Amino acid sequence: MKAFIAVVSVCLFAGLVTTVSAQEGRPAPAAPRTPPPAPAPGSPGIYKSDEELTTVLKAAIARANGAQSASNIATTDQYSVNIVHREKAAGALAHEGNTELHYIIEGTGVVVTGGTIVRGAQGTLATIQNGESHAVKKGDVIIVPAGSAHWYKDVTTPITYLEVRFVAPK
């Protein structure tokens, strides 16, 4: 879990984050809310202990019920940090305006990135044509540029990852 703190610190405090848009593919909150503003320059960083992260991880796994669940670690108007747990494949998608970093905490599978999203018949998962497939395992990092297609095509063993969304500087 100490790797969480390192990844969050690198992404949040290296000057890479500027804004984050709505989170696609996630259930909408019960009531609209405005995320708190980012910490002011010079303020202390956000610290999450191993115990706090373990609690968030367990909550995501408990809610998954054979599908996918996400538990928020921190969200402001500058970034979003979540723990995502997938127990099966999910459809392809892309997030305009958001670069994503996925740090694989546990599990194995295949992620496809790049290429073109292909929408199937209603009720089927979207796929990717002409993308690159990557076998992933614990400790791997995937960086998905804003607007790029990505797809957890195969989940061999349940995958849990730290997801950091931010807008990368030009």
Rounded CA gap, 38 and 63, in Å?
Answer: 28
> What mean pLDDT is predicted for residues 48-71?
78
Which residue's entry shows tokens 């992933």? Answer: 136
Question: What pLDDT does residue 10 have?
Answer: 37
Q: Which CATH number is 149's domain given?
A: 2.60.120.10
pLDDT band at 13 (very low <50, low <70, confident <90, very high): very low
Place of tokens 């538990």: 71
Q: Is residue 78 part of a domain?
A: yes
Inside any domain, residue 8: yes
Residue 40 lies in a domain: no
Q: How many CA atoms lie within 13 A of 10 on its CB side?
A: 10
Mean pLDDT over residues 144-153, rounded? Answer: 94
Highest mean pLDDT: which range of 6-10, 13-17, 92-96, 129-133: 129-133
- Neighbour tally for 63: CB within 10 Å: 13
- Residue 147 is predicted with a pLDDT of 92
Q: What is the mean pLDDT of the chain?
A: 77
Residue 11 has what pLDDT?
A: 38
Specify if 34 maps to a domain. Answer: no
pLDDT at 47: 74
Q: d(Cα 119, Cα 49) in Å, to the nearest integer?
A: 41
Which residues span the domain enclosing 153? 2-24+49-166
Judged by average pLDDT, the poorest of 7-11, 16-20, 100-104 is 16-20
Q: What is the pLDDT of residues 119-134, one digit of tens each?
A: 988 888 899 999 999 9
39's CB contacts (< 8 A; 6+ apart) are 45, 46, 76
Q: Extract the tokens encoding 11.
A: 């992404």
For residue 33, tell me if it sits in a domain.
no
Q: Is residue 32 in some structural domain?
A: no
Residue-level pLDDT at 65: 67
- Domain contains 30: no
pLDDT band at 52 (very low <50, low <70, confident <90, very high): confident
Q: List, as one string, the DSSP characters of the chain.
A: -HHHHHHHHHHHHSS--------TTSPPPSS--PPPPPPPTTSPPP---HHHHHHHHHHHHHHHTTSEEEEEEEE-SS-EEEEEEESS----B--TT-EEEEEEEEEEEEEEESSEEE--STTS--EEES-EEEEE-TT-EEEE-TT--EEEEEEEEEEEEEEEEEPPP-
| Domain count along the chain | 1
Residue 38 lies in a domain: no
